[in-house]
Structure 1
Amino acid sequence: MSSKVTAKNLAELYYDSAMKYGDRPAFGTRNKDKQFSTINFRDVYETGVALATGLIDLGLEPRDHVAVLSDNRKEWIIANYGILLSGAADVPRGTDVTDGDIRYILPHSDAKMVFVENEATLRKIEKNFPYLNNITHVILMDGDSTTNGKSNSNGKMQVDSKAGIPKTTKMADLIEKGKRLRELGDRTVEKRVAAIQSDDLFTIIYTSGTTGEPKGVMLTHANMISQLRNIPIDIGPKDRFLSILPVWHSFERVFQMGTIAMGASQYYTSVRNIREDLSIVKPTFMASAPRLWESLYQGIQSRIQGGSFIKRTLFNAAYGSALRVQRSLHFFKGNRLDLNGRSLAQSITLAVSSLFSIIVFFIPYLILDAIVLKKIRQATGGKLRGSVSGGGSLPFHIDEFFNTIRIPVFEGYGLTETSPGLAFRTPKRLVVGSVGQVLPETEILLKDIETGKVLYPPKKGVKGEIYVRGPQIMKGYYKRPEVTAKVLSNDGWFNTGDLGIMTFNDTLKIVGRTKETIVLLNGENIEPVPIENKLIQSPFIDHVMIVGQDQKFLGALILPSLEKFAEYGSTYEELATSRAVQEKVEQEVKNMIRTENGFKSFEKIVEVRLLPKTFDVGDELSAKLSIKRHVITAKYQSLIESIYEGKTQGSSQAPQVYARR
């Protein structure tokens, strides 16, 4: 990809792609007839220029910020073009934005204008407008919606003098105004694009937060250009991307920008339509969260188990032979996960057994693949060359399953703060169980979390906290220098808060987290501290730690109060085995962590486990009495695992006690 990206900023990239790929379809949106209406590269660029002209006419200045509250749709990318071509930066969020998010993010980001997708989102803005003193213009994407007013003959906003709320203008009207100005010779956009510096912001993405103070990650044009320069996958005009992740997430935006740079087509879908759209679009690539693959895996397993004995037998034979052959091929390619280093004897043994598996199972594999596994691949449209899973750890059995049946899943690793890519798995370096090789231009070091010893370069097979440095690292958190300083050093090293190991395959494996943020399988980022702080207010709870990293839902390890539950036992171990205590604690958690108390649906605690001993300073607690999450996670691993064993949703179970080692 690197040889093809020559633009200095994203606005230049948009122009270059319009010139190179003109009439080719760029973006598609599904209509009511289950067909995709598309807009080509030239039209999306020219529409974006017209929108930018209209925004400038409204008073948008270089380096201003514009909020965009919208989900995946063609108008989103047009709004993005318009904002960036005017020399401004976007502040994106989905339509599920809460009142708290609106009241904090829009003022904190200094957004001057706000795009809203539809009437429902517009109502949210109107409801919270008394808190949005910085917003001068509201722009509605939906073209067929009624608005609370119109722009005047000059295209300027009128204001409702009673409510102090700007009259909403339609995005389509603003585009038409821009076209008229262009026809009259307005070329302000060209001047704005020429003035964009590589260090200018193109976006501020706010991370999720329960406290009302999410952090605004500042990403520059140079950050994103570096991603396009270094992502090692081959994309071209013949490729079709299916977009299912929120289009404003940094992970999805890399692929969005990649399709623009390489002339590929991107089609917007949703969780509701994904299975149908896979067969309609027949994508060659897609970005996805682990939850999607888990859902597809469960669907496949359900159909297999519900089939006849013959079908189950055929599948087991097909998958079994494929697994043996693929594992053997991975070994000979140097792609079989190796965390400890193999001796010569071990390598010879694996080579002999791998060769034996290929000789015995290769012919059955070819036959059964054509009869059985090929039909499963058709569920993705049959043309999928690869999918990149990110936003959370992909469970190993699901990772191996799809790669074994030849639906390639190239897991990647990164954070919003790193634009996001840090490591990436490729067809040539497909080491199942790892997140691939570290990207070019990216440095990595590991630091021992107990001793602070720095491993640079990282030593293979040794675990440590991951620090990275490179052109993709954020500029910082917007208006939060003290928070920025905690994770980003003066010499450019960023603390990811993740624990990793460099494998003997020269790839990176993520093995845990030291930071507090929990990432669920669906990609939702959750800060556990506010939830824990709420629960610790209960007189029935002495200690609590929220768990759920790379899982479907949150669970909680809770130490019940000896004083409040004295009638059920005199020790924590006795309380932990009491069904009555379990039920009372579960009800207390349910009452405290609910939407009525300001928590989001995905922040609810689905399962609770009671702890048999208190947290001690020097063990589970630091000298400052903060909990050591990695210590507690390791000590109570089996108890945590019991929360998620065989669970697809929350269910009450008999109390389980961790057996102390």
Structure 2
Amino acid sequence: MSSEITAKNLAELFYDSAQKFGDQPAFGTKNKEKQFSTISFQDLYETGVSLATGLIAIGLNSKDHVAVLSENRKEWIITNYGIILCGAADVPRGTDVTDGDIQYILSHSDAKMVFVEDELTLRKVKKNISKLQNITHMIVMEGEPGLLNTQLRSHGEDEVDPGSHLYPKVLSLNGLVENGRRLRKLGDRRVEERLLTIQPDDLFTIIYTSGTTGEPKGVMLTHANMISQLRNIPIKIGPKDRFLSILPVWHSFERVFQMGTIAMGATQYYTNVRNIREDLMIVKPTFMASAPRLWESIYQGIQSKIQTGSVIKKVLFRLAYGCALMFQRSIQFLKGNRLDLHGRKIIESITLAMISLTSIIVLYLPYIIFDLIVLSKLRQATGGKLKGSVSGGGSLPYHIDEFFNTISIPVFEGYGMTETSPGLAFRSEKHRVIGSVGQIFPETEILLKDVDTGIVIYPPKKGIKGEIFVRGPQIMKGYYKRPEATAKVLSDDGWLNTGDLGIMSFNNTLKIVGRTKETVVLLNGENVEPVPIENKLIQSPLIDQVMVVGQDQKYLGALILPALETFSEYGSNYEQLATNRNVKEKIEEEVKNLIRTENGFKSFEKIVEIRLLPKTFEVGDELSAKLSVKRHVVSEKYKSLIESMYDGKTQMQKYVNQ
């Protein structure tokens, strides 16, 4: 975001931003009247210092760990400031934590204190308090201590005695801030003393992975890790920009943009899935970052509106989009931004350049007219002011990626993981190569390893696929108290195994083509990447969710959730659709038409069997917080359904007939 960042740690960054941007609004959250109320950079810093003073007064030491269980809200960032300004590290999570999450994460992380969003989350923690021996204080973002204890008793729970050595004290965020202000008026300057001791290699957070492949692991990220991200993300933002924040605030992808808006003086507004459409119109963001699922939802909403419109509107949209698609593809080709994985010959490049130039000349005027009367109205679905949108935390389907770029909502897709703080690669305005995740960050090294032979390709050759290893200033310190797990992915000389498969394009950008842990290996030894197949299938209006299966089998199968609205005549819920023969036959035909060699799929990638799911995948169950499918959970939950695809002569006969 800026090479001019001189802060050595995040506490210095907070101070610098308060000095630079003063009374400008930093963060906004909706109040009880459903209006956005903001806090300035100066007030945020001063409130954070007061909270830090209050935390030091109740015993929080440098390098202690503090759990934070909260959703997107202004109090979250105040809490974050307070913890970091103490020299401590946060252990963040959402309010949807289970008892198992609370017991494991709070204990394993050695959290000394825990911030909770409200009284409901407080009761969740208190229910498990006997297994949280390290917790000395529970701090609530809403309410006051006396009222909180009254509420606890009203639910039939014991009062938490502030003087008891058996239970943590219950305090309020506001109470701690006020006490900190009082102490500072009396001359307390312990925060300033702490700031001088914070080193770049100190932890600022421990983020526990969602556990898609087993027990959660605590990713240790340092101040230096995050500062390197702010230096290298290629997005130009400033004090006039407005970010709309929808991803969980504890997600590493979201935290980069939190810190980025602080560093560059932009304003960030917190929203959620329920209010996103309304808040897009209110905030009119210039930038926003989200997981692919949001862009899929906006895309589907636009498509649904078009399909229910008049014949004239449908025709106008097709003409406008077709014209824009050809025009934008031509522009991007001449800029060198048409994805090239094989290396074009000179004659092919000259021919495409001439075609592109001709298209631009012919389509320029129609494009301007159609954009004015049709496409500009589509952009209003996101507030009409977006200069760019960032997609991360998962693979963005190509058709959705191209759609938003075509209607002039630039999509800067990025790539990374929690273990890399998270950014490794990012698209920029100059290198917006659709279908890729952009160029590798400055200061970052990458090598590819052939999955079959183990041969290391360094530096990576263009057009060659391999497992991605990276090294750079954003690489985690390791997994907290998990040296064996750390050693499995992080070598002594700093190379991290991402577990992803990638290809360096001839545009000097990285394309992710699969994941080694997701790869389905058929009995005949063929390796199949399920994600491209799944992305193709969810383009269908008949399908809402899908997961490809077939490990150690002769052919692929798929678990599919039918689109409830599309099949409403056959049933009012998923359970009814799952047992309806007509629904299954229609989806089987759709799958057959989509996954075929004419569409670029290999013969062994065809889906031979499908089974319809009786319920949707849910966050916290089959989906992680960033909405990626927990394949091991789904495989276990629907084990019998999957086995039925490979049981019996009927299935084998279908395979032979394919």
TM-score for both structures, normalised by structure 2: 0.80
Letter in 2 for 1:254: V
- Between the aligned partners of 1:275 and 1:311, the Cα distance in structure 2 is 22
Question: Counterpart of 1:3 in 2: which secondary structure?
Answer: coil
Cα contact 2:208–2:217 (8 A) shared by 1: yes
Cα offset for 1:181?
A: 0.4
Q: List runs of 5+ in structure 2 lacking aligned partners.
A: 152-159, 521-527, 539-543, 559-583, 585-600, 619-637, 646-650
Which residue does the alignment assign to 1:347?
Answer: 349
1:555 and 2:557 correspond: no
Which residue does the alignment assign to 1:457?
Answer: 459
Which residue does the alignment assign to 1:148?
Answer: 149
1:638 and 2:606 correspond: yes
Shift in CA distance, 118/634, structure 1 to aligned 2, threshold 3 Å: farther
Question: Counterpart of 1:495 in 2: which secondary structure?
Answer: strand
Cα offset for 1:33?
A: 3.1
- Between the aligned partners of 1:186 and 1:130, the Cα distance in structure 2 is 35
Report how many residues are paired: 562
Shift in CA distance, 491/75, structure 1 to aligned 2, threshold 3 Å: same
2:237 to 235, 238, 249: 235
For each residue in 1:252-303, what CA deviation from the matched residue of structure 2 results, as whole angstroms up to 9, or x when unmatched?
0000000000010000001111111111001111111100000001000000
2:279 to 277, 280, 287: 277
For each residue in 1:555-580, what CA deviation from the matched residue of structure 2 results, as whole angstroms up to 9, or x when unmatched?
363699xxxxxxxxxxx999x99xxx
Letter in 1 for 2:358: F
Cα offset for 1:34?
A: 3.1
- Segment drifting more, 55-64 vs 343-352: 343-352
Cα offset for 1:391?
A: 0.3
Letter in 2 for 1:64: D
Letter in 1 for 2:488: K
Which residue does the alignment assign to 1:565?
Answer: none
Sequence identity percentage: 70
Cα contact 2:235–2:428 (8 A) shared by 1: yes
Cα offset for 1:18?
A: 0.5
Cα contact 1:546–1:554 (8 A) shared by 2: no
- Between the aligned partners of 1:641 and 1:442, the Cα distance in structure 2 is 43
- Between the aligned partners of 2:193 and 2:458, the Cα distance in structure 1 is 45
Letter in 2 for 1:65: H
1:500 and 2:502 correspond: yes
Which residue does the alignment assign to 1:192?
Answer: 194
Cα contact 1:149–1:169 (8 A) shared by 2: no
Question: Counterpart of 1:496 in 2: which secondary structure?
Answer: strand
Cα contact 2:144–2:175 (8 A) shared by 1: no
Cα offset for 1:634?
A: 8.3
Cα offset for 1:210?
A: 6.5
Which residue does the alignment assign to 2:573?
Answer: none
Cα offset for 1:357?
A: 1.5
Question: Counterpart of 2:121 in 1: which secondary structure?
Answer: helix
Which residue does the alignment assign to 1:625?
Answer: none
Which residue does the alignment assign to 1:135?
Answer: 135
Which residue does the alignment assign to 1:434?
Answer: 436
- Between the aligned partners of 1:228 and 1:643, the Cα distance in structure 2 is 45
- Between the aligned partners of 2:102 and 2:529, the Cα distance in structure 1 is 26
Which residue does the alignment assign to 1:396?
Answer: 398
Cα offset for 1:379?
A: 1.5
Cα contact 2:217–2:480 (8 A) shared by 1: yes
Which residue does the alignment assign to 1:215?
Answer: 217
- Between the aligned partners of 2:44 and 2:218, the Cα distance in structure 1 is 28
Matches within 5 A, 1:470-481: 470-481=472-483
Matches within 5 A, 1:225-264: 225-264=227-266
1:415 and 2:417 correspond: yes
Question: Counterpart of 2:127 in 1: which secondary structure?
Answer: helix
Letter in 1 for 2:512: I
Question: Counterpart of 2:507 in 1: which secondary structure?
Answer: coil
Which residue does the alignment assign to 1:117?
Answer: 117
Which residue does the alignment assign to 1:515?
Answer: 517
Q: List runs of 5+ in structure 1 lacking aligned partners.
A: 151-156, 519-527, 529-544, 561-571, 578-606, 608-632
Shift in CA distance, 372/559, structure 1 to aligned 2, threshold 3 Å: closer
Cα contact 2:9–2:224 (8 A) shared by 1: yes
Taking only aligned residues, the RMSD between alpha carbons, in angstroms, comes to 3.1
Cα contact 2:26–2:268 (8 A) shared by 1: yes
Letter in 1 for 2:80: N
- Between the aligned partners of 2:469 and 2:423, the Cα distance in structure 1 is 14
Question: Counterpart of 2:508 in 1: which secondary structure?
Answer: coil
- Between the aligned partners of 1:345 and 1:318, the Cα distance in structure 2 is 31
- Between the aligned partners of 2:318 and 2:493, the Cα distance in structure 1 is 54
- Between the aligned partners of 1:640 and 1:101, the Cα distance in structure 2 is 38
1:36 and 2:65 correspond: no
Shift in CA distance, 660/238, structure 1 to aligned 2, threshold 3 Å: farther
Cα offset for 1:356?
A: 2.3
1:321 and 2:323 correspond: yes
Letter in 2 for 1:420: P
Cα offset for 1:354?
A: 1.2
Cα offset for 1:31?
A: 2.3
- Between the aligned partners of 1:28 and 1:643, the Cα distance in structure 2 is 45
Letter in 2 for 1:320: G
Which residue does the alignment assign to 2:629?
Answer: none
Cα offset for 1:644?
A: 10
Question: Counterpart of 1:18 in 2: which secondary structure?
Answer: helix
- Between the aligned partners of 2:163 and 2:331, the Cα distance in structure 1 is 69
